[in-house]
Amino acid sequence: MMEDVTRDLDLDLFIDDLRTLVGYRTVVCRNPDAFARARDWIRQFLADADAEFLDFDVDGMTSTIIRPRGSPRPALIGDAHLEVVPAADPMFELRRDGTRLYGRGTADMKTALLTLLYVMRELLTGDDHRDLWLVITEDEEVGSRRGAQCIVDHLVDRDLMPPVAFVPDGGYDLAYVEREKGTAVIRAVAGGDGGHASRPWKVTNPIATMLAFVRDCLDLFPVPPDATTWQSSITPTMIAAGTTTNQIPDECRAVLDLRYTEDHSPSDVRARINDLADSNGVTVRFAKLDPAAHYPREAPIAAAYLDVLRDVVDGEPVIEHSAGASNGRFYAAHGTHVLMTGPRAGGAHSRLEWVDASSLPAYHELVHRTVELVSDRVRSGSAP
């Protein structure tokens, strides 16, 4: 499976380039110098290609549109993020074990980013540019408001939204992502008067208040039993209170991450969480509240893409419902159909993040064929 590809990929060179890209410590909201060096490397990578770069700088984060020089509008946008989540120092050194390459960003999502760069360079140094535009952002891990949202707003304002976006931030093992959950980040505060831990009956303990609120949230949105169960769930990710062992604090703060299915709308989620907050005496603020996304396999472009995917993997591709969220939602909100497939990879956000090197030639071929498929349909006037 996946050995019969029609375009050559110098895998050793690709791995060397991935080693360089992983080595840039582009940790989200940190290390601006590392981001600058990575952006410079990307420009150098495309130095021999006839590409234009358009940067958007928002609050210290830079997003970039890369397009063929003179391209009037995109037939297809490839969207990838440069930033990664924090990791220990050794994870920024690519390590190989058999066919697996370990390192921060190998799965999420520097390998996919590098594949898009390879395909764009190959197109721009050839005879057929295909009107592929790349979008590279730096804040997907914290909501994309300073990245993909700004880029999409720019494209909408200029009537440049493409019919299709390839957003390979999921679908590992060459799967097709059909649905993504909506996401909410909830910041909660429980207050009290504070007091001595030996006399708890005198005051309201904000820790107990917060724990009751969290328990009610978990009852409303319970943890799914496994990855195949498609249901909404909430996870407390941060909680903080107190400064000493014998003092009841006067405040407790928590952050909860909610992933919800299309069974709930953003307004429904807001109303339900607000009701629980009111009943427990907790104040909440929604730092993020984005809807679930659907990329239906029945759409003409999806059906054609699945045929390409079948050919590349020499079998029936997995149709995946993803518990995660990506920049795809910003494109889908404006009628752009999102295609999402990644290489064989796993361990995203963990200390054992990896990508399978043996899947990369087929993945490189898939991206090339995807660009050809979409651009040919756009040129012929076929509906996406």
Question: Who's near 122: CB < 8 A, 6+ residues apart?
Answer: 7, 368
Task: Count how many domains the chain has.
Answer: 2
CA distance 320 to 158: 33
Q: What span, in angstroms and rounded, lies between the C-alpha atoms of 235 and 223?
A: 8
Domain that holds residue 357: 11-180+292-380
Digits of tens for pLDDT over the chain (384 positions)?
444 445 789 999 999 999 999 999 999 999 999 999 999 999 999 999 999 999 999 998 999 999 999 999 999 999 999 999 999 999 999 999 999 999 999 999 999 999 999 999 999 998 777 899 999 999 999 989 999 999 999 999 999 999 999 999 999 999 999 999 999 999 999 999 999 999 999 999 999 999 999 999 999 999 999 988 999 999 999 999 999 999 999 999 999 999 999 999 999 999 999 999 999 999 999 999 999 999 999 999 999 999 999 999 999 999 999 988 999 999 999 999 999 999 999 999 999 999 999 999 999 999 999 999 999 999 888 767
Q: Is residue 5 part of a domain?
A: no
In a domain, 190, yes or no: yes
Residue 2 lies in a domain: no
- Kindly give the residue spans of alpha helices, DSSP state H, lying in the chain: 11-23, 32-45, 110-124, 148-157, 206-220, 266-280, 300-313, 328-332, 360-380
Question: Same structural domain for residues 286 and 171?
Answer: no
Put simply, whether the predicted model's pTM sits higher than 0.85 gets the answer: yes
Distant-in-sequence contacts of 8-12, Cβ < 8 A, 24+ apart: 9/118, 9/360, 9/361, 9/364, 9/365, 11/357, 11/360, 11/361
**Residue 265 domain flag:** yes
Residue where a domain terminates, one of 290, 314, 335: 290
CB distance 372 to 130 below 8 Å: yes
Q: Are residues 171 and 310 in the same domain?
A: yes
Cα dihedral 125→305→342→113 (10° resolution): 30
In a domain, 3, yes or no: no
198 within domain boundaries:
yes
Which token pair is 157?
A: 């304002």
Token representation of residue 159:
């009537």
Do 133 and 20 belong to one domain?
yes
**Does 4 reside within a domain?**
no
For residue 256, the domain's CATH number is 3.30.70.360
Residue 370 and residue 263 in one domain:
no
DSSP character at residue 174: T
Identify whether residues 352 and 273 lie together within a single domain: no
For residue 2, say if its preceding peptide bond is cis, omega within 30 degrees of 0.
no
Q: Are strands 132-137 and 195-196 parallel, antiparallel or unpaired?
A: unpaired
How far apart (Å, rounded) are the C-alpha atoms in residues 373 and 378?
A: 9
- One domain for residues 96 and 15: yes
Same domain, 175 and 193: no
- 159 with 66, same domain: the answer is yes
Domain boundary among 265, 290, 315: 290
* Residue 218 and residue 284 in one domain: yes
Is the same domain home to 155 and 82? yes
pLDDT of residue 150: 95
Based on the domain organization, do 354 and 367 belong to the same domain?
yes
CATH number for the domain spanning 315: value is 3.40.630.10
Per-residue pLDDT, 383: 66
- Residues 256 and 352 placed together within one structural domain of the fold: no
> DSSP letters of 30-55?
S-HHHHHHHHHHHHHHTTTS-EEEEE
Single out the residue in 290, 321, 354 at which a domain terminates: 290
Q: Is residue 260 part of a domain?
A: yes
Residue 75, pLDDT score = 95
